[in-house]
Amino acid sequence: MSGARYAPPEPANLRERAYDAFTQRILSREIRPGQFVSQRELVELTGVSLGAIRELVPRLEAEGLIVTIPQRGMQVAHVDVDLIRNAFQFRLFLEREAVVAFTASASDSAIRAQRDAHEDILTRARESGVTQKLIDKAQIVDLAFHEAIIDHLGNDIVSKAYRVNWIKIRLIRHDETGLLPHLAEPVMRAHLAVIEAIEARDAAGACAALTTHITGARDRALSVK
C-alpha cells in the first residue's frame, strides 16, 4: 500500500471563492494578459489555499483563461487577433439570439430600467464631464445591460458561458487600456439605439443595432492589434 497521503478535495464553496478571486484580479488588472504566474503567486494574489489553487487550474485551462507552458509555468490568456475574433464572434452568436427573446417578452419595467440607467450616465456626462468615477459606473451599466439580455433566456449554461467570455472581453479591453473617456458616451448611445428598438418590440431592429454595437467594439480591438 502506498504511503502517499490522500489530499481531500477542497469544499466547493472554497473552489468558487478561488475562481472569483482570480477573475476579480483580472478585472482589477492585478493579473495582466500574457502574464506568467505560479501557483504560489496565485495563492498570494487570491488569498486562498494552495489546494484550492491546484483544483482551480484545470477549470481555468478548460475555460481558456490560462495555458500551461512546459518549463515556463502558467500564462494568462494572451490577447491576439484570434482571441479578439473568437470572443466577439461568440458574443454575437449569443446576444443576437438573446435580444430577440428579450424584445419579445421582457417587461416594460425591465426595459425602462435599462433606459433610465443609460440616460443617467449621459446626463451626468453633460453636467459634470466624463470622470473616472463616471467611467466606472458606465462599465457597470454596460455589463448589466448585456447580462440582463442574456439572463432573460433563463438558461444557466448560456449565462455561465457568457460570463467566461466576458472575462476574455475584459482582458482584450485591458490590453486597449479599458473603456476610454471618449467611448463612454458613444457606448451608452449605442445601447440606447438597441433599447429604442426593444421598446418598439422590433426584434430585427434590436438585433441590427446590437450587431452594429458589437462589431464596432470588435473592430476597435482589431485596429489596436
Residues 99 and 68 in one domain: no
Give the domain extent around 152.
Answer: 81-224
Domain end call among 58, 76, 94: 76
- How many domains does one find in the chain? 2
Predicted TM-score of the model (pTM): 0.83
Q: Looking at the structure, do residues 87 and 114 belong to the same domain, yes or no?
A: yes
134-183 confidence digits (pLDDT tens): 998 998 999 999 999 999 999 999 999 999 999 999 888 765 545 566 78
Q: What nine digits make up the cell of 167?
A: 472575462
Q: Any idea what the CATH number is for the domain that residue 171 is in?
A: 1.20.120.530
Kindly state whether residues 70 and 121 are assigned to the same domain.
Answer: no
One-letter amino acid at 7 equals A
Residues 182, 214: one domain?
yes
Tell me the per-residue pLDDT of 87-127, one tens digit each, with 9 for 90 and over.
Answer: 999 999 999 999 999 999 999 999 999 999 999 999 999 99
Give the Cα separation of 87 and 80 in Å (integer): 11
Give the domain-ending residue among 76, 109, 128. 76
Domain contains 6: no
Question: Among the residues of 28-155, which ranges form H helices?
Answer: 39-46, 50-62, 81-105, 108-128, 132-151
**Is 90 exceeded by the pLDDT of residue 45?**
no
